[in-house]
Amino acid sequence: MEANREKYAADISSIKEAHERIKPFIHRTPVLTSESLNLISGRSLFFKCECFQKGGAFKFRGACNAVLSLDAEQAAKGVVTHSSGNHAAALSLAAKLQGIPAYIVVPKGAPKCKVDNVIRYGGKVIWSESTMSSRETVAAKVLQETGSVLIHPYNNGRIISGQGTIALELLEQIQEIDAIVVPISGGGLISGVALAAKSIKPSIRIIAAEPKGADDAAKSKVAGKIITLPVTNTIADGLRASLGDLTWPVVRDLVDDVITLEDCEIIEAMRMCYEILKVSVEPSGAIGLAAVLSNSFRNNQSWRDCKNIGIVLSGGNVDLGSLWDSFKCSK
């Protein structure tokens, strides 16, 4: 790991520095367990509840680190991002805590609960079309008009370092963990977790969980290069992004496997989180449990020695109307 530190956008030092920087502002989220889910899975599961983080998701860690890393001149002009979800709300909240403006380019069709969070935290919503090209064009215009600083949702070293603080906490809370299952989308979360966890405990396994309807990471691992999908189709609205040039090298080198899940498996895992764990999670947050309960994980001999598994419940911002509809569809 030490020899490779120049290859990656973050390392254990930047992650530890991020933790010191953001510690006064974030929640040190709890780790929950369930004997019922342990029996069902045949393993000891440890749920890192980022659904209890400020803003309702892990994204506040990275956003907070990025905002607090700005110098006074940069901060005064504010920050801008394009996001349909939790990063938008997280950046709005981080900016609000520092008293600076946040300009949030939101694509039409974004989940209402997540847009409501942006507004609640004082973000200035600027609408774009749903395509990535429209999002980027509108964000570029805002940058030009305001002089603000672009904070990318995941392809940013400060963001990756902030997200890696999850692994620092988890491995302090539960030292016997031998694998961590992490949702994957753009790769900021799993990159930070992998860099921190493998530096602290080189033998630990890092497993990505991804929807089959947005399986670019799985395809990228097989191809050995970034693969982007022309279209995605999954209930997990937070897992539709593509890997970036800063996150891909970490995913390529340090993520041990990618498990892909059907939406019905994700929905069933959500149901278990609600009914057994008594925790409210969004589809993206439940996918780690879905992965551990899947046949592809249970039947894979590579994971037979993984007895103590950390699962990152990445967020709890769920549109209740969509939730009830998904539960009805799953019956």
pLDDT tens for residues 17-40? 999 999 999 999 999 999 999 999
DSSP 57: B
CATH of 59-150, one of 3.30.365.10, 3.40.50.880, 3.40.190.10, 3.40.50.1100: 3.40.50.1100
Q: Are 284 and 239 in contact (CB under 8 A)?
A: yes
Q: Provide the b/e sequence for 193-225 (b: ≥16 CB within 10 Å).
A: bbbbbbbbeeebbbbbbbbebbbbbbbbbeeee
User: Rounded to whole angstroms, how far apart are CA atoms 201 and 152?
Assistant: 29
Question: What's the CATH class of domain 12-57+156-320?
Answer: alpha beta
Provide the 10 A C-beta neighbour count for residue 120: 13
Q: Are 56 and 281 in contact (CB under 8 A)?
A: no
Q: Across the beta sheet with 79-82, what order do the strands follow?
A: 124-128, 102-107, 79-82, 149-150
Of 80-84, 189-193, 298-302, least confident by mean pLDDT is 80-84
Identical fold between 12-57+156-320 and 59-150: yes
At 3 the pLDDT is 44
pLDDT per residue as tens digits for the range 226-265? 999 988 999 998 898 899 999 999 999 999 999 999 999 9
Which residues, including other chains, have CB under 8 Å from residue 24's CB and lie 6 or more apart?
Answer: none
> What is the band of 177 on the pLDDT scale with cuts at 50, 70, 90?
very high
How many alpha carbons fall within 13 Å on the CB side of residue 3? 0
The yes-or-no answer on residue 112 being catalytic is no
The yes-or-no answer on residue 59 being catalytic is yes
Indicate which residue of 59, 114, 198, 221 is catalytic. Answer: 59
Rounded to an integer, the average pLDDT of 285-300 is 96
pTM (2 decimals)?
A: 0.94
User: Rounded to whole angstroms, how far apart are CA atoms 309 and 118?
Assistant: 33
Q: Provide the b/e sequence for 9-36 (b: ≥16 CB within 10 Å).
A: bbbbebbbbbbebbeebbeebebbebee
Indicate which residue of 44, 69, 83, 84 is catalytic. Answer: 84
Residue boundaries of the structural domains of the chain: 12-57+156-320, 59-150
At 131 the pLDDT is 77
Nearest to 94 by CA among 158, 176, 189, 2: 158
How many alpha carbons fall within 13 Å on the CB side of residue 279? 30
The dihedral built from the CA positions of residue 209, 214, 215 and 220, taken in this order, carries a sign that is negative
